[in-house]
Structure 1
Amino acid sequence: METFLTDALKEKYKQLADRCRAVLFSAPCGFGKSCAARALAGPGRTVTLSAREPGFSLPSLKEKWNTLILDDLEELEDEGAQQALCGLLRSCRSHRILLLSRGPLPGWLLPFQTTGVLGVLTAQDLLLDRGTADKLLQAHGVYLSASELAAIHKETNGYPLALELLAQHLERGEAFAAATSDAVRQEIFYYYEEAVFRRMEKATRRLLMELSLFETVTPELARIVTGDPHANERLVGLLRQTSMMHLEKLGNYTFWPIFRQFLRWELDQKYTSDQRCTLCDRGALYYELNEDYGSALKFYTRSGNKAKVADLLVKNAGLHPGMGHYLEMEPYYRALPEAEVRKNPALMQAMSMLCAMEMDFAGSERWYAALEEYRAGAAGADAREARSRLAWLDIGLPQREVEGLTELFPRVFTLIKNREISLPAFSVTSTLPSLMNGGKDFSPWSKRDTLLYKTLRLPVEAALGKDGVGLADCALAESLFEKGEDVRNQAMKLLAMLEHIRREGTPDMEFAVVGLLARVQIDAGRAQDARESLLDLRERFIRQEQTRFLPNLDAFVCRIDMMQGNDAAVALWYRDKAPRNPQYLQTLKRYQYFTQAMAQLALGDPQGAQVTLAPLEPYCQLCRRHIDGISLNLLRAVAEYRQNSPDWKPRLAAALDAAREFGFVRTVSQYGGAVLPLLEHTTWDADPSFLAQVVRKARRQGAYYPQFLSPAQQMEAPLSETERQVLQLLCAGKSNAEIGQALHIKLPTVKTHVSHVLKKLQVSRRTQVRDAAQRLHFIDR
């Protein structure tokens, strides 16, 4: 059977062979290591050996051979045999040695890699690309359309064994459907069972099956779930012997996906339902001990342990939504009987906040009223807890007016001081990089920010405890910044306070402060410095396992990428991290929704930006999100302007009216060159002085970041249906002859269509077509 290798693999092997004496093929079973090695070895005498063979010995350099292919390297455990191979690697200069292993590079060969004697090809190198997969299928007499081939490649991910088995099914006349995919997967499982699994020790097989329930495995999880005191030793051994499991980071193991599916299949065959529930219970206990309540709830639910689910929800309800992951746990809350919820103040608080975050404000107030009713009938510690949670909701519910907080905070401070209440864990940022526009919008306070700073700083910070450390100084600086004032002195003060905030405060406040400092850097034209500040904070949060901040932090970095014109990074964030589901609005993700809309504008999709922003409009109005409302109207105005819709004018006017009310200059000017054309053509004349200030600062931002949200490449004219098909084939790297064969059209006609496609995409060469097609969303990035 012909061996199919990608051009990329051939090129990489050639580069390694030119400078290395030996090449290691490291990949799990089914990647075609042996076939690839034989095909790449080239002419000359090749000796093929297996380290698994009894009496295995290496050939002498005096014997007549050009290439040695040594398979099953992971089985070479004898120290003498290892030293013999090392000696051969040192001395052979005119011979080629190809090593094949199901495991990673062993430590005893590492010196040869670092000195350039040994090169490594991985599983990723051996995957087949779409073109090579097409050749394999055609060798079986299977000819597919571009869309069918794309679907198959997505299904198999280029895994050689899966493609070969699937080709055999299609060759027999079977259709590519779910049943065929299932049959191929079953055959792969039988192969793994025979070639890999049965060769392992019984204890190792048991360990792997029981851990297959979990996406990421730690030594502690392995010990708790399996009860095996040697679990960590077995994991380390597996890491050395196979590529089916790899180290994601120190102490965190993950399975190769299809191998995990195989292990789950084995587990389902060999363990009863009760046994699997017991494993889930043990895993849930591990997550509970590590305060990962989301994962604990998932596995307690799988095991059917309803009592533990209710207990964990009560614990989770004591946390702020930014920490408590209310939205992720929504199904568990919703599954609780209402009578059960009404017995517990923490659960009623959680339900009120959960409803509010889903814009079910009537439901939120209903649960608030239920909590008040509970307080009226309670006494002692129960009444105190209910009052505490009502105070928490009074501060945190997004539908409540912030104006009332000026009276509420001193009252709450007095209650705390008199030990009448104890405020649950809080956060005024909801994991956003802002205080003014975090858990609540404090724009109304900006009208008298300096006075409120002087009068409310002490009671606010005292009422919020750790959550209030640095709050007042950050809020004042951010208010002045939004107004367009010079806040360098305030920024230096916050920078000096940062270590105190880290030590005595919360990560939420740290993110708000660093976020403000980054915005000050951006405003001064130092976007790269801001980017580095955020990435440093990101590494710090990862080390501290504060992963709840990462989605908004990554969105912030994406905005800087837009400013720097890094379309590739923007497209990558949009593909992998954007919420992408405006039909089900999650208000805690609004910073990401706004970033998504900005990315769509930057990538040339103003209509998509409109779809993303539309669901946010009622939320901004009902919860009086003034800053978000200004951004929403500005971005929708830009989208409408680019779609030649006259509706941009009232949108811009509404944004300017709101910005003028609070004196927010930078809230508008931050959009720089994207909003400048609108500002220069607006008929808004409510405050010429304010408008002039906004325009002046927007021009400066436009000069700093000329590519920020700049209109993407436009089509000269729409493509016909045939031209769209030609474009797809051009992007797949097809020649004119191949395009003609695929579409059953003559070569001169193909050339005419190609010429039209290039002209309409406004590019001059075929090599530019793929990038243009990605920017215009004809193909995925």
Structure 2
Amino acid sequence: MKREKSDYIVPQAALNRLFNARRSLQPVYIYGMASYGKTECVRQFFSGKTYCYYSPISNDSEHLSDFESHINPHRKMPLPVVFDDLQFVNDEECRNRVLEIAERADVWPIFIARPPLLGWLVPYYTQNNFVVIDENDLALTIDQIREFFFSKNILISNENVEKLQEFIVGNPYALKVAATRLQNNPDAKTLIPHLREVFAKYMMTSVTKVWPADFLDFFVHLSVVDSFTVELAEYITENAYASAYIEKARSIANFIYKKNDEYLIRPIPLEGFRYQARIQLEPEKIREASQKAAEWYEKHEEFEKAMLLYSKNHCYSKIKEILIKNSSQNPSNGQYLGLSRYYFELSTAEIEENVVLMSGMSMICSMLFKTTLSEYWYDKLKEKVSQLSGEEKTEAKRRVAYLDIALPHRGSTTVLESIKSFGLLLTTKGLKLPEFSVTSNLPSAMNGGKDFCDWTLKDRAIAKKYGSLIALALGKNGKPIVNLALAESFWEKAGDNAEVLALLSRGQLEAELNDNLEMGFVAAGLFIRFYLMTGQLDTALLQYNAFERKCRDFKSTKFFPNLLALQCRIDLYRDDSIAVDIWLKNSAPDENKEIFALLRFQYMTKIRCYIAKGRLNEAFSLKEKMKWYAENYHRTYISIECDVLGAIINYRMDSDWKETLKNAIFAAEKYQFVRIISDEGAAIQPLLFKIKDELENIPEFNRNWFSKVIRECQKLSRMYPKYCAPPVMAPSNFSETARQILRLQSEGLSADEISKNLDIKLETVRYHIKQNYKKLGVNSKSRAIIVAKELYLL
């Protein structure tokens, strides 16, 4: 069979793997979901060449029984034989015939199917060294999609490309449909709805029409949710064979994948199932399935998912009920960010009906930087105390006392007085605080729920005088926090390692004896920092893995976002660029949406990732947001941290950095903090040496403390020389045109002059300039020329 070249968008990764397999004559196994272009990729590879093609469902297929007629005894190379749609080969005789042909010495076999591996092919697979081409090889990257649109002269913003990629996940066929749509209708806002409709119909007419009715019905009903467990699937569908159906879908159709402990249906087939649900099911049946899912989520305290479904079904009483439940939890255990819009949809009268809800409103407003509104609800709650009686009055008192300590925007200056006042109520009237988080699920006691930098100035004295009271007021968190806070304070000041380890060990043991994961995370985080800074990377990873296992054993998922951010910080020291990319893509919060105070550890991690990736504009923007938060929410530690990172960013952007670094150094000197600067190791070291003489000429400057900072920084730089280092771009990453444009820019030519000089469009020149800046991690021509010379591009 010969095929002419089609206009299929060829994924180069897949073609490269086919080419390598052809050279070594290794069997090839290609798999991926329907419409990913598995067959078209092979046809493109064999364009104009002879090969045999077999498929149980294609009209183009040749017959297995006629195979010998295709063999040319004079042919020097084995004949390529493509076995397509193997997931539909159920006949034992056909399977044996496929294997018989594949095992011939004069055949180069290529197998195509949807699942990762078919059971009946396993024996052959284990005996032969397969080249596997999976969906990742078939999928186009976001950069390839941008290049494709550019080649077609289709103008589409980066934001819309990202939205498109989120839906099509690199599907080449879907990209062709998108391009055709944009050429006929350039309104990008209508693109995704159009694709949803096109692929929903495609699923119904070309994919699911051959499925058994009960199998299809199962997934149509399940499409009311975005993800599910086997138990949830059984509850929604009332089908005892849920587990078998899910496994069948994974092994035959390959439209389901597992992420953590949940199954997800890929976006395109999910849209198809929802389309079929709207056509085949009565609205009441869809509502019933949706309601059951919401009840399941509520029962398992997955409030955000429950609320989404209750909102669709207009169950407003359930929405308020969940908001009250959530408000009774501290922000670290509750789901305030995900539920924020539902809080603000309540009327004033509805909120004032419940003191727990009033407390929750004050808290969520504080976390979202709406401080005036937070204080408004605090004052309203305080007024309620005098208006109520009995248990309601007691609850209102508890909530006021809780907010006095816990409101994020108030800082830590009044916390000690509040704890002393509450300690009196606790001992005289037996009044207990509501559930309280000291750390906000961060791996820090000193910079956790509140900023306690000022306490470090008198750390030993405060621990000795108020340690027992703090332990009493904070309940289960109180006892370990005294030792852990002291350990962190001494560690930040580069104190005696033996004393730090002793305090850490005691605090960790106290946390373990009380099954206190929150304090356990503080201990694990501090141990990890200790081992990293003393060159014991493997021990740091063991500590991390041990705590992660403990969280999984206790099914305590609330720590995972910050735990993953902590893992990313370890990866930055290890110079594991791929792991950092994965965290940025899959786990990092989006600062361009709503900034949320509880995510501060993740935001500060993301700034470091941006620096390491050379994405300096994004690093600068996020740093400015966090600096504003630090200044307005009395977060001294984060303020210093922002200035240290800001100096690195400014230095690499060829902007003024000295004043920013001086601010950080003078602030850190006040508290005798060493690690907050030295932890940035190789990234901050050259700046410290450039400013050293100037600082040491200031009479009142503490030279001994600064020498300690330099010394610790040098140690870390030797251990991790590539930490947050500027990305190195190889010349091969730049096309000849891109390098010509850089050269002409260095000679002083404008974009218009370069366009005329190279006889290319002005838009093309601007595109290459933008891409050059992105690759070099710069935002100006002057800086681009400097970096390009350093990389020997000029």
Which TM-score band applies after superposition, normalised by the shorter structure? 0.7 to 0.9
- Contact 1:582/1:615 (<8 A) preserved: no
1:443: how far off?
Answer: 1.9
Which of 145, 165, 175 pairs up with 2:153?
145
CA contact (8 A) 1:239 1:247 kept: no
Q: Who is 1:534 aligned against?
A: 544
Q: 1:174 to 1:700 in 2, by over 3 A?
A: closer
Q: Which residue of 2 aligns with 1:113?
A: 125
Q: Identify which of 384, 391, 397 aligns with 1:381.
A: 391
Q: What's the offset of the Cα at 1:220?
A: 1.5
Change beyond 3 A, Cα 1:274–1:338? farther
**Are 1:425 and 2:435 counterparts?**
yes
Alignment counterpart, residue 161 of structure 1, candidates 167, 173, 185: 173
Q: Return the letter of the residue paired with 1:12.
A: R
Q: Which residue of 2 aligns with 1:226?
A: 237
Structure 1 pair 86/606, CA: closer, same or farther in 2 (3 Å)? Answer: closer
Identity %: 24
Which of 652, 665, 676 is 2:674 aligned to? 665
- Alignment of 1:471 with 2:474, yes or no, is no
Deviation for aligned residue 1:472 = 1.3
Q: Go from structure 1 to structure 2 and tell me whether the alpha carbon gap of 1:157 and 1:404 turns closer, same or farther (over 3 Å shift).
A: closer
Does structure 1 residue 9 correspond to structure 2 residue 11?
Answer: no
Report the TM-score when normalising by structure 2.
Answer: 0.81
Residue 404 of structure 2, aligned match among 394, 406, 416:
394
Alignment partners' CA distance in 2, 1:729 and 1:212: 52
1:560-579 aligned at under 5 Å gives the runs 560-566=570-576, 569-570=579-580, 573-574=583-584, 577-579=587-589
Aligned pair 1:701/2:703, yes or no?
A: no
Query: In 2, distance between residues paired with 1:706 and 1:158?
Result: 36
Distance in 2 between the 1:196 and 1:517 partners?
Answer: 53
TM-aligned CA deviation for residue 396 of structure 1:
1.1
Q: Per-residue CA shift, 1:247-294, capped at 9, x if unaligned?
A: 3356x3211211112222222333454443332221111111222112
Measured against aligned partners, the alpha-carbon deviations of 1:379-429 in whole angstroms (never above 9, x if no partner) come to: 332222222222221221224453544444355345445673232222111
Query: Which amino acid counterpart does residue 99 of structure 1 have in structure 2?
Result: F
- Give the direction of change, closer, same or farther, for the CA distance of 1:730–1:245 in structure 2 (3 Å limit): farther
Residues 133 and 50 of structure 1, relative CA distance in 2, 3 Å threshold:
farther
Matched-pair contact (CA < 8 Å) for 1:385–1:421 = no
- For 2:311, the aligned partner's letter is T
Pairing partner for 2:604 from 594, 599, 607: 594
2:349 counterpart of 1:339 = yes
- For 1:568 and 1:328, the matched residues in 2 are separated by 29
CA distance in 1, matches of 2:418, 2:195: 65
2:139 and 2:68 map into 1 onto residues whose CA distance is: 36
Within 2, Cα distance between the matches of 1:76 and 1:481?
A: 65
Residue 223 of structure 1 aligns with an amino acid whose one-letter code is: E
Check whether the contact 1:672–1:705 (CA below 8 A) recurs between aligned residues: yes
Q: Compared with structure 1, are the counterparts of its residues 161 and 536 closer, same or farther at alpha carbon in structure 2 (3 Å cutoff)?
A: same
1:451 corresponds in structure 2 to: 461
What does residue 523 of structure 2 align with? 513
Q: What stretches of structure 1 of length at least 5 have no aligned partner? A: 716-722, 732-742, 762-768
How far did 1:330 drift?
0.8
AA at the equivalent of 1:629: S
| CA distance in structure 1 between the aligned counterparts of 2:575 and 2:460, rounded to whole angstroms | 38
Structure 1 position 725, deviation (Å): 11
Tell me which residue corresponds to 1:738: none
Give ranges in structure 2 of 5+ residues lacking alignment: 72-78, 743-753, 785-794
Supply the distance in 2 between the matched residues of 1:644 and 1:22 (Cα, whole angstroms): 53
The answer to whether the Cα contact below 8 Å between 2:36 and 2:172 also exists between their aligned partners in 1 is yes
1:211 is matched with 222
CA contact (8 A) 1:713 1:775 kept: no
- Which residue of 2 is the match for residue 76 of structure 1? 89
Partner secondary structure for residue 470 of structure 1? helix
User: Contact 2:630 / 2:638 at 8 angstroms: preserved in 1?
Assistant: yes
User: For 2:333, what is the secondary structure of its paired residue?
Assistant: helix
User: Can you list the C-alpha shifts for 1:5-42, whole angstroms capped at 9, x where unaligned?
Assistant: 44432331244456676433322322333344455569
The 3-state SS of whatever aligns with 1:315 is helix
CA contact (8 A) 2:674 2:708 kept: yes
Residue 480 of structure 1, CA deviation: 1.0
User: 1:50 aligned to 29, 45, 56, which one?
Assistant: 56
Distance of aligned partners of 1:401 and 1:587 in 2 relative to their CA distance in 1, 3 Å threshold: closer
Name the amino acid aligned to 2:86.
L
Residue among 657, 682, 690 paired with 2:705: 690
Contact 1:467–1:505 (Cα < 8 Å) also in 2:
no
1:365-764 map, 5 Å: 365-400=375-410, 402-413=412-423, 415-416=425-426, 420-492=430-502, 494-495=504-505, 498=508, 501-502=511-512, 504-527=514-537, 529-531=539-541, 533-534=543-544, 537-538=547-548, 540-541=550-551, 544-566=554-576, 569-570=579-580, 573-574=583-584, 577-581=587-591, 584-604=594-614, 608-640=618-650, 648-649=658-659, 651-673=660-682, 674=684, 675-676=687-688, 677-682=690-695, 684-688=698-702, 689-710=704-725, 726-727=737-738
Matches of 2:20 and 2:548 in 1, distance apart? 36
2:294 aligned counterpart, secondary structure: helix
Q: Would the aligned equivalents of 2:773 and 2:779 in 1 still touch at CA under 8 Å?
A: no
Instruction: Please give the per-residue CA displacement for 1:310-346, whole angstroms capped at 9, x wherever unaligned.
Output: 1111111121112212122111111122222222221
Residue 693 of structure 1 aligns to which amino acid in structure 2? K
1:605 CA displacement: 5.5
**C-alpha RMSD of matched pairs (Å):** 4.3
Corresponding residue for residue 303 of structure 1 = 313
Q: Per-residue deviation at 1:449?
A: 1.9
Query: Residues 105 and 397 (structure 1 numbering): CA distance in 2 closer, same or farther, change over 3 Å?
Result: same
Aligned to 2:249: 238
Structure 1 equivalent of residue 746 of structure 2: none
Q: CA deviation at 1:471?
A: 1.3
Contact 2:677 / 2:709 at 8 angstroms: preserved in 1? Answer: yes
Q: 1:215 to 1:20 in 2, by over 3 A?
A: farther
Q: Distance in 2 between matches of 1:236 and 1:571?
A: 31
Q: TM-score, normalised by structure 1?
A: 0.82
CA 1:34–1:429: 2 relative to 1, 3 Å: same
CA distance in 2, matches of 1:294, 1:577: 18
Any conservation in 2 of the 1:552–1:591 contact (CA below 8 Å)? yes
Question: Is residue 2:775 matched to residue 1:773?
Answer: yes
- Work out which of the residue numbers 22, 31, 36 in structure 2 matches 1:31: 36
> Aligned letter for 1:23?
V
The structure-2 alpha-carbon separation of the partners of 1:310 and 1:94, relative to structure 1 and needing over 3 Å to count, comes to same
Distance 2:43 2:766 in 1: 45
SS at match of 2:17: helix
What is the DSSP-based 3-state SS (H/G/I as helix, E as strand, rest coil) of the residue aligned with 2:458? Answer: helix
Aligned amino acid, residue 105 of structure 2? R
Question: How far 1:106 sits from its partner (Å)?
Answer: 2.0
CA distance in 2: counterparts of 1:447 and 1:130, whole angstroms: 50
Contact 2:81 2:109 in 1 (8 A): yes
Q: Which residue matches 1:196?
A: 207
Looking at structure 2, the residues matched to 443 and 149 of structure 1 have their Cα atoms a distance apart, in angstroms, of 44
Residue 635 of structure 1: how far off its partner (Å): 3.1
Paired position in structure 1 for 2:113:
101
